[in-house]
Structure 1
Amino acid sequence: MTLKSVAKTLSVSTATISNAFSRPDQLSKSLREKILKECSTLGYHGPNITARSLRKGKSGVLGVLLSDPLSYYFNDPVANQFLSGIAETVEQHQKQLLMLSGADSGKTNTGIESLPDSFIVYGSQEHNPLYNRIIQTGKPIVTVDFDAPEFGSINVDNQAAAYEVASYALKKRSAPHAAILGLRLIHSERVCRITDDELYDESESVARRRLNGYKQAAEESNIALSSELIWHIPHNTFALAKRAAKELLSVTPRPNIILCMSDVIASAVLNVAAEMGVSVPAEIGVVGFDDIPEASRTSPPLTTICQKSKEKGKQAVLMLVKGDTSSKILMPTELIVRDSA
């Protein structure tokens, strides 16, 4: 049934029906409850959001474009914190949230990107057709964890943060011998070591900027970081990180400092070290990046970089709510010193 036909059946105005669903403050409690009950009996469940957005020019929906399959964002703790910050702030401003995945978006074109009023774009969107279609809508966009010149953005200084945590770890060893467990350093789905010519450009990859920070700290400490001791892990999962950690801890001579590009990776190193009887931090120092909630509960607790992922999500929503789509926000990070290094 349509809004008009329901209003005619109940002998009220279309505005009254609409208010019962979307503006309850405009009706008395008893009248609203009566209308909703009668609408339910008729099988009418509210105004069509697409039609309403076409009529008013606004849907009240905020879109979040993600670069990986949606399932990844429910399992990855950093992405989970980020989306939690978005969800809390969206609810506070009485809006709805639509999550879109850029993974395999070239295979389908549903046109769903026309519904949201504005978009948060999370992570690099290289070769993503859906991202290009969203740009063509001309709607407000804020990017997070990558920068596009024409849009507002929220980032952290990944290179400076990585430099800080690596410098701290290297100074804790009298004869430091370092290795890196990297995340998405090259275009490969395999857990593997890398060569220099395979690396992403700095503009493409947060991980590349973190790698530059590690290298900068090593150079200042006169330490050679061989590419043979840099691993690429394609996805931020415990299983893949554990595979890389087993390879790394079996190297002879074994590094005594392991710089990890995420806390998930670092926790896998701690797990493998415990299985192999390698003492942390006595024999190896381990540092992470992100400061996920689990980082303080590992054994030993993890030294890491806090990048306030939840706050990124909140700030991104607030920028769009305020109409600020030009600011380039660089959020602060903090070195969190615990026992693993």
Structure 2
Amino acid sequence: MAKVTLQTIADRLGVSRATVSYAFSRPDQVSAELRRRVMEVADELGYAGPNPTARSLRLGRAGALGLLFSETLAYAFADPYAVGFFQGLATAAEDAGVGLLILPLPHGDKRTEPVRNAVVDAFCVVSLPDGHPALDEVLGRKLPVVVVDEPYVPGHPFLGIDEPAAGALAARHVLELGHRRLGVAMVGLHDDGHIGWADVARQRAATFEAMRGRRDGYQAAAEEAGVDWAGVPFYELSRNSREAGRQAGHALLARSPRPTAILTNTDVLALGVLDAAADLGLDVPGELSVVGFSDSAAQDAGLTTIRQAKQEIGAEAGRLLLAGAPARPERLLFPHSLIVRASTAPPPLERH
């Protein structure tokens, strides 16, 4: 029998999940009649209410999970990957009857006060660079911690994907199509605001562990195919936006010889590269192949990309933090897959 959740009851009654959550945790926010109906259906389905341990956290302590990530608040609600992850985490919190306290730390922001002053019962840390002082502050609070994407912290649960393998899968796809003139556009290597060309030394010194691994995968696959990585033009960006991708696309496509395939580490950047190709009148995939990453807002554009389980990762992070017992300090790697669509094909000279 499937697990009964707040959403199960909401679907039965034709109301929102939040309404059912209020019936349990904030009964003053719903009518007596609606609360009675919610309780009747809950009893019928054998649902005793939100997780007792999580409910005790809410009633006896802060009743909130802290979500710490290295971007702006506006970005969190606009980036397709971030939105998917947050939906998964928020669903787990809502089912448990606890809230989320969002603690954004935009690139370059080294403050620790938001963490020190946060009234929370646990932390979910998402994509912080190596050595960020806020992470030390989190660990110093001695609260439950789950890390997502980066950095790996020994002794605490880690959720993510096999980044080198995923990067290699993306690069290998275009290499197997016959491409040898590659270009790369990446964001999230460093948090120093750099925009422009990045040589191999700067690439390898990236302070964001996940992006460092993804880039390593690109390089490994290229070198397996006999491509000299030092000769691959690599354009670094400081923000993950479509306009930034367009800027990178123009820079890469101005090279001589021009790349026939461009790898990007986000779908948003890939969409910008497609914009640049359109500006220049280049046919995709006839004259240029483009590969994104994450499968967020990619389908409508026909974008070939790497799919990762963003909502599932968010939900599992919430489950671990609300389980009521210390989570095992293990690396939980979620599956990824190559999704081939209309933005990739053999290079022009390979066509017959």
* Whole-angstrom CA distance in 1 between matches of 2:232 and 2:224: 20
The letter for the 2-side match of 1:212 is: D
CA contact (8 A) 2:57 2:63 kept: no
Question: Residue in 2 aligned with 1:284?
Answer: 288
Please tell me whether Structure 1 or Structure 2 has the larger radius of gyration of its CA atoms: 1
Normalising by structure 2, what TM-score?
0.77
CA contact (8 A) 1:66 1:100 kept: yes
* Whole-angstrom CA distance in 2 between matches of 1:284 and 1:55: 53
Render the CA deviation track for 1:54-91: whole Å, top value 9, x for unaligned.
99652221111112222221222211111111111211
Mean CA deviation greater in 320-329 or 137-146: 320-329
The letter for the 2-side match of 1:158 is: E
Normalising by structure 1, what TM-score?
0.79
Query: What percentage of residue pairs aligned between the two structures are identical?
Result: 33
Q: Residues 1-341 of structure 1 correspond to what in structure 2 (within 5 A)?
A: 22=25, 24=27, 29=32, 57-103=60-106, 104=109, 106=111, 108=113, 111-113=116-118, 115-146=119-150, 147-173=152-178, 176-201=180-205, 204-226=208-230, 229-292=233-296, 294-298=297-301, 301-322=302-323, 323=325, 324-341=327-344
| Equivalent residue pairs, number | 297
Q: Mark the runs of 5 or more structure 2 residues left unpaired by the alignment.
A: 1-22, 36-55, 345-352
Mean CA deviation greater in 316-325 or 236-245: 316-325
CA separation of 1:125/1:171 partners in 2, compared to 1, >3 Å: closer, same or farther?
A: closer
Q: Mark the runs of 5 or more structure 1 residues left unpaired by the alignment.
A: 1-19, 33-52
* Whole-angstrom CA distance in 2 between matches of 1:89 and 1:21: 15
CA contact (8 A) 1:191 1:244 kept: no
* Whole-angstrom CA distance in 1 between matches of 2:189 and 2:206: 10
Question: Residue in 1 aligned with 2:4?
Answer: none
* Whole-angstrom CA distance in 1 between matches of 2:265 and 2:71: 18
The letter for the 2-side match of 1:309 is: K
The letter for the 1-side match of 2:171 is: A
CA separation of 1:235/1:220 partners in 2, compared to 1, >3 Å: closer, same or farther?
A: same
The letter for the 2-side match of 1:154 is: L
* Whole-angstrom CA distance in 2 between matches of 1:169 and 1:54: 50
CA separation of 1:118/1:100 partners in 2, compared to 1, >3 Å: closer, same or farther?
A: same
The letter for the 1-side match of 2:329 is: S
**What is the CA-CA distance between 1:233 and the residue it aligns to?**
1.1
Question: Residue in 1 aligned with 2:53?
Answer: none
Alpha carbon RMSD of aligned pairs, Å?
2.9
